[in-house]
């Protein structure tokens, strides 16, 4: 279980997170929605320790992430970055097997390659992709490789940062289905940030809406359409008119 209690984070005078309280139960898929610049990515990075909150606590299974043993903590996570964040100096299979080739989870090279090819197959990519470099792949294929890397070490918790951004609707659907399948199959806890409402409906068990650095609404995805919260209604229907100010 991931729990955030009163998390604050500012960058200079820009107060990005203004007291986030959120609870993500084990084995569930939480999707965080919200407009651009509302602090969704910062929130994920705070949980991972890539950004340190100014105030508040982040607990993973009741243990404060700030005091947890770093390698053991990170070994429980997988992350799909918005742009893929693949290492362009190494072939696809080494990207996927990166964690398996180093550190505490190090495996023999042949075994790591076999696992990488198996994970690539899991995301719908053939073994011929393994020896290509990321720059040789399309955006959709790079996203899949990044997804394969995120699941390579069978993590307990997977974060997805804007998994469908920049993809066409069909590829977005493929990625959404893959995420749902993998999360269900692995029994992993998932936390996704997106503004793609199709993704939300495909991936989420629960949804939290972030607005002005606070959780505006949180509940099961099945209740999202019925909520009377005007912010949520404006966001999920993509209306220009409403309480959320749109810069024009």
Q: Tell the smallest beta-carbon distance from residue 75 to other proteins (Å).
A: 6
Q: 53 or 78: whose CB is closer to other proteins? A: 78
- How far is 89 from 147, CA to CA, in rounded Å? 18
Whether the CB-CB separation of 133 and 141 falls below 8 Å is answered with no
| Contact string (CB under 8 A) for other proteins, positions 135-174, x = contact | --------------x-------------------------
Residue 104 burial by Cβ neighbours in a 10 Å radius (0-12, 13-18, 19+)? exposed
Mark 13-52 with x for binding to other proteins (rule: CB under 8 A) and - for no binding: --------------------------------x--xxx--
Among 99, 113, 211, 216, binds other proteins (CB under 8 A): 99
Q: Do the Cβ atoms of 149 and 86 come closer than 8 Å? A: yes
Minimum CB separation of residue 216 from other proteins in Å reads 27
Residue 233 three-state SS: helix
Give dist(CA 41, CA 148) in Å, integer.
21
196 close to 20: Cβ distance less than 8 angstroms: no
Q: Does 247 bind other proteins (CB under 8 A)?
A: no
Q: Point out which residues bind other proteins (CB under 8 A).
A: 45, 48-50, 70-71, 74-75, 77-79, 81-83, 85-88, 98-99, 102-104, 149
């Amino acid at each position: 279980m991931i729990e955030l209690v009163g998390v604050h984070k500012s960058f200079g005078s820009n107060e990005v997170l203004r007291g986030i309280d959120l609870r993500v139960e084990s084995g569930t898929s939480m999707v965080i929605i919200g407009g651009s610049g509302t602090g969704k990515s910062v929130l994920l990075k705070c949980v991972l320790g890539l950004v340190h909150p100014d105030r508040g606590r982040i607990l993973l299974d009741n243990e404060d992430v700030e005091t947890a043993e770093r390698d053991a903590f990170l070994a429980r996570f997988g992350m799909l970055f918005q742009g893929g964040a693949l290492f362009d100096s190494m072939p696809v299979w080494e990207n996927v097997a990166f964690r398996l080739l180093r550190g505490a989870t190090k495996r023999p090279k042949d075994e790591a390659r076999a696992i990488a090819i198996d994970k690539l197959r899991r995301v719908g990519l053939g073994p011929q992709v393994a020896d290509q470099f990321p720059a040789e792949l399309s955006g959709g294929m790079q996203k899949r490789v990044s997804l394969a890397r995120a699941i390579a070490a069978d993590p307990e918790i997977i974060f997805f940062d804007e998994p469908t951004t920049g993809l066409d609707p069909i590829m977005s659907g493929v990625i959404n289905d893959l995420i749902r399948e993998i999360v269900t199959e692995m029994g992993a806890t998932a936390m996704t940030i997106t503004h793609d409402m199709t993704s939300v409906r495909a991936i989420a068990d629960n949804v939290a809406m972030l607005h002005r650095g606070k959780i505006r609404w949180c509940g099961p995805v099945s209740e999202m359409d019925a909520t009377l919260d005007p912010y949520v209604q404006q966001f999920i229907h993509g209306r220009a008119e409403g309480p959320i100010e749109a810069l024009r």
